[in-house]
Amino acid sequence: MTRHARLFALLAATTLSIPSGARAEERSQVAEKYKWKTSDLFATEAAWIVAKDDLAARIAKLASFQGKLGTSAADLFGGLDALMAVDKDLTHLVTYASMRSDEDTRLGKPREMKQASESLAVKFAAIAAYFRPEILSLGETKVRAFVAAEPRLAPYAPWLNDILRYAPHTLGAAEEKVAAEAAIMADGAMNAYDTFTNADLPYPEVTLKSGEKVRLDAQAYTKYRTSADRQDRDLVFHSFFTRYKDFERTLGATLDATVKTHLFDKNVHKYDSALQAAIFDSNVPTRVYTQLIADVHANLPTLHRYLKLRQKMMGLDQLRYEDLYAPIVKEVDLHYTPEQAMALVEQAVAPLGPTYVADLHRSFQEGWVDWIPTTGKKSGAYSTGAYGVHPYQLQNFTGIYDEVSTLAHESGHSLHTYLSDKHQPYPTHDYKIFVAEVASTLNENLLLHHMLNQTKDKATRLFLLGSHLDGLRTTLFRQTLFAEFELKIHQLAEKGEPLVGEKLSELYRALVKEYYGDAAGVCKVDDLFGIEWAYIPHFYYNFYVYQYATSITASAKIAADLRADRTPKTRDAYLKLLSSGSSKYPIDLLKEAGVDMTTSAPFQAAIREMNATMDEMEKLLAQK
């Protein structure tokens, strides 16, 4: 029942390169203009503690509504109003503590605050666990009569409809309380993984061909795997993943523990599968997930066509897994300052209208974004929101084009959050995850086409087109590979099979070899890289990653419509989607925006775009 702060995961392929003046070893060295303003949430840590203690008392008072929700429409409203007020303020607490912890994962005090807020969230869920079964016990007829009789319940109607949909998966009040209290253990494995990989894992130090010595943490790996020198790429890949291989058993145990929490929810709440349990909230049929995997397998020849094109452009006799992040146009070296990146993204999203651009500009100027990577800072990028304040972005911006694209991506999330919060009451402000990645990938698409419209230079166009193709590889194909791996490990666990690290590596290795055409010689995959699963934090997010792939197919369709439509019709339909929160289910919202995700048509549209992009690249390469 609790709605925690939205933490939209980074794209795993984020790349790093530090622009002049932007590097900082410690957070204290970063200019204030490059830091987010957590003071907009709470002025001080002391204010946060006061709010936490007050909220704890308010959570305890929620028990007073038990047994009274069905007395009258007014009583139902009173209970829901108190519930949502606590939920909103709890989200503020969790968001603030999580952000402060992410600034420097080495510090104990922010971690304590994060753990305290998470414990309070569990307490809230346990005390409020009676709401759903008690509302269900009223019956659909009575609930709808209350909504019709009490105007103040109108904003709660979609939320109540969702509860009624959960009837087959809702237990009695006492059982739901036990299940909610068990949630205190749900994030333990993920927290251990995050702390270990961000703060404690002894990353290797390597000496590059230039003589430069590098500590290969996650940020350095994503930077140096893009090296134009193949010897350095080999060193980086093998050193980095050998170190993860050293901890294969430990990291297998953390992932196994996370999967077990998913099985607990599936079994207790009587879902057919862990997959159904995970995506039920968005009301997405499981066939959408399995159809995505089937569509990808049917279109692996398109991925292989791209890999062969990459091999040709790199001048390699044999493409290898270590070569997949290297630039395919060596002459192009695009670097940007944060200010230049902001300007580019603002220009790129102009098709979404002046109001959207103005809101985005505010986000860059008013402390919504934390820019610079520092020691101990959480890696990657995300956007998170706090209703009534504004969204926040964590970035690890380092200047190359992919980082500008990441900024566009997370800014899409932030503006989606901002518009939903602005136009929706609290009960329906929090949009479903299934539609979340549409806004982010649409912004990436708009940025690409803006860049292409700016330049006629052959090398730069090839670089941009190649970046787009690799984005399709990493999002459409790689994220689906992740989704298939996640489905398979849950299916194994459902059969009672243990998920030890060695088995996870074997399963992942087989999938990577199949996807990348290892047996056919399309791209050779070293057996060591079966351990890559241990580097991917997404597997702790409970069937999240497939939505990257489904969303990029939806956003490609919408972006094409925006370019073709000279009227505001497509733009306004899309902005309505961004402003709708969870007032309708995501499948329905996307249909209203012109995309039917229950068919393979959006996927086929993305494949057509991928092939058309390769057609253009091949024409450019054929020019003398």
Residues known to be catalytic? 410
**DSSP state at residue 392:** E
For residue 363, the one-letter residue type is S
Torsion of CA 476, 478, 481, 486, to 10 degrees: -100
β partners of residue 400: 335
- Tell me the C-alpha distance between 371 and 72, whole Å: 50
d(CA 223, CA 216): 9
Cβ neighbours for 168, distance < 8 A, ≥ 6 positions apart: 270
SS (H, E, C) 316-352: CCCCEHHHCCCCCCCCCCCECCHHHHHHHHHHHCHHH
Residues facing residue 369 across a β-bridge: 393
Asked if residue 91 lies in contact with residue 118, where contact means CB atoms within 8 angstroms, the answer is no
Radius of gyration, CA atoms only, the chain? 24
Tokens describing residue 525? 């995959």
- Start-to-end CA distance of the chain, whole Å, equals 62
* Interatomic CA distance for residues 527 and 250, integer angstroms: 19
Cα–Cα distance measured from residue 378 to residue 380, given in angstroms and rounded to the nearest whole number: 7
* Residue 370, helix vs strand vs coil: strand
Residues linked to residue 320 through DSSP beta bridges, in sequence order: 524
Please check whether residue 254 is in contact with residue 193, taking contact to mean a CB–CB distance below 8 angstroms: yes
Q: How many residues in the chain?
A: 624
Buried b (16+ CB within 10 A) or exposed e, 356-391: bbebbeebbeebbbbbbbbebbbbbbbbbbbbebbb
Tokens of 388: 């009534």
